[in-house]
Chains A and B, each alone.
Chain A
Amino acid sequence: MSVSDMFIVLQGVLTADQDIREEIRKVVQALEQTAREILTLLQGVHQGAGFQDIPKKCQKAREHFGTVRTQLESLKTKFPADQYYRFHEHWRFVLQRLVFLAAFLVYLESETLVTREAVAEILGIEADRERGFHLDIEDYLSGVLTLASELARLAVNSVTAGDYARPLRISTFINELDSGFRLLNLKNDSLRKRYDGLKYDVKKIEEVVYDLSIRGLSKEATVSAGGEK
């Protein structure tokens, strides 16, 4: 085989590779669009009136995740199943965003942290690598960290909307999350950088709780919350 023949073969391989990437990019663009729509929908909870119809918004968001599932389904067909990490970079960002949205949705519904398996189920993908297109653990953790900053914002806005009990519940949740993350030995990578931001979210929420408690608003909140139950 002559040198030029070899390079012709290699060029063919590289072109095929580029075609795959192009196909992936198209699907990822559609996914990003859906993710933005879901985000817009869930952002509604930050507005004063939004606190009333959280269940309705969650319902709608869940419907949108149906679109996500079909889009991810088509993404799976665009590349060989055993080469997930070869093209990982293309969907890494959008997948982290979708994890965040799913986690936010589940938090609004049940005030618990979504498990990795549950996210995988919402997105219609697998939880571990052996069984096909899966959710990488680092992407899951990144999505969860985004949730933390969103909740810090939610704590502030729920006080504005007169919901004084929510920040206390968020505070408990974030503290548990913080303890969880402190168990991990993170490498000096993007996940570590995101994790470094968690303490500011924790701090922000603590400040909100402090403000509420020195004004006696937290007691009021617990009493009224107890009354509701």
Chain B
Amino acid sequence: GSGGFRKRKHDNFPHGQRRDEKENVNPSSALMTSFKSFQLELDTRHDKYERLVKLSRDITIESKRTIFLLHRFASAPNGEEILNESEVKLDAVRRKIKQVAQELMGEDMYQFHRAISPGLQEYVEAVSFQYFIRTRSLISVEEINKQLTFAAEDREETTNTTSNSHDQEPHAWSLKVTPVDYLLGVADLTGELMRLCISSVGNGDIDTPFELSQFLRQIYDGFTFIGNTGPYEVSKKLYTLKQSLAKVENACYTLKVRGSEIPKHMLADVFSTKTELIDQEECL
């Protein structure tokens, strides 16, 4: 990036150095001193941003893996085990989020929001998916944020490091998922639910699709209620959400119409052709 550019600039303009010698640019002038402090300030800010991007990517990857794990839930006989395993994974994700919260302590969260937003959305998706499998309902923002309040584990270490400011700082970090991040995460969740619906049909599960279509319809109604009040990204997701809902509704329709005539074990074939058809439409 900038390093390469700087080098190139020196190569192209060798007279730049000569100019510096010729002109009396005093390296300790007031202007140069303040620019040295700007350098420090900008570098500190960029470093923090990069650390947060890395954490966000780790959160994204781990959350995605949790979602894949949860997709195995429907077909696996040992459901409880998978749920426990997902809980362990989500705890690991939360430890990462705790690091994010620590990085952001004393900062304006929105200054670095772009760095962490993708990770948080993916986390919302994973945690709400797990919550849905457990309770068949939608997790609220408050519930998510409650899980993102961390108490300090090693109290002594923190008192040492933040000894000057610990009077007003409680020994806890918390991170708040913004309403927009939550909405985007929930919109992604609907995609996962659609996948769950289709695969559960493949497993011969007749009840889940109807439950899912009910739930998805509620979420879709919610999103249409928000409409274009929200930011642009939210309205963009609404389109995909509509397609997911259509797939699930079509699945339920087919189940109703043909469920009575086709033996259960053959339903999988019906849906594999059906979904392909929808996918092709989507490409157009």
- State the A residues within 8 Å of B (CB): 1-4, 6-8, 10-11, 13-15, 18, 82-86, 88, 113, 115-116, 129, 137-138, 141, 171-172, 175-177, 179-188, 192, 199
With a cutoff of 8 Å between Cβ atoms, the chain B residues found around residue A180 in the complex are 31-32, 34-35
| Contact call A184/B38, Cβ cutoff below 8 A | yes
User: What 0/1 pattern do residues 33 to 55 of B give for CB contact below 8 A with A?
Assistant: 01110110111011000000000
Contact indicator B46/A86 (Cβ below 8 Å) = no
CB within 8 Å for A11 and B35 given contacts A6-B140, A175-B23, A192-B2: no
| A85: contacting residue among B111, B140, B179, B222, CB under 8 A | B111
Q: Find residues 78-122 in chain B having any chain A CB closer than 8 Å to their own CB.
A: 108-111, 113
B222 contacts which of A6, A176, A192 (Cβ < 8 Å)?
A6
User: Among B19, B32, B42, B182, which residue has its beta carbon within 8 angstroms of that of A10?
Assistant: B182
Binds A, one of B191-199, B224-232, B265-273: B224-232
Q: Counting CB contacts under 8 A, is B138 at the interface? A: yes
- Whether A83 and B222, one on each chain, are in contact in the complex, defined by CB atoms closer than 8 angstroms, is no
The answer, among B13, B31, B39, for a CB contact under 8 Å with A177, is B31
The reply on B159 being an interface residue by CB < 8 A is no
Dominant secondary structure at the B interface: helix
CA distance A181 to B5 in the complex (A): 13
Q: A14-B226, A85-B110, A172-B23 in contact; A187/B31 too (CB < 8 A)?
A: no
The answer, yes or no, to whether B1 is at the interface (CB within 8 Å) is: yes
A100 to chain B, nearest CB (A): 17
With a CB–CB cut-off of 8 A, which chain A residues contact B226? Answer: 7, 10-11, 14
Instruction: Report Cα–Cα, A176/B22, bound state, in Å.
Output: 12
Docked pose: A48 CA to B224 CA in angstroms = 61
Q: Does B255 contact A (CB under 8 A)?
A: no
**B157 part of interface (Cβ distance < 8 Å):** no
| B221 lies within 8 A of chain A by Cβ | yes
Bound form: Cα–Cα A192–B31 in Å: 19
Whether B39 pairs with A7 at a CB distance below 8 angstroms is no
Partner of B42, one of A85, A115, A137: A137
Q: Size of chain B's interface in residues, with CB distance under 8 A?
A: 48
Q: Are B113 and A185 within 8 A (Cβ)?
A: no
Contact B108 A184, beta carbon cutoff 8 Å: no
With both beta carbons as reference points, the residue of chain A lying nearest to B36 in the complex is identified as A183
B218 touches A137 (CB 8 A): no
CB distance from B192 to the nearest CB of A (A): 16
A-B contact sample (15 more), CB < 8 A, given A1-B140, A185-B46: A3-B218, A6-B138, A6-B222, A7-B221, A85-B108, A86-B108, A86-B113, A88-B110, A116-B34, A175-B20, A183-B32, A183-B36, A184-B42, A187-B46, A199-B9
CA distance A141 to B223 in the complex (A): 41
Distance between Cα atoms of A183 and B25 in the complex (Å): 13
One digit per residue, 1 when the CB lies within 8 angstroms of any chain A CB and 0 when it does not, for chain B 176-219 equals 00011011000000000000000000000000000000010011
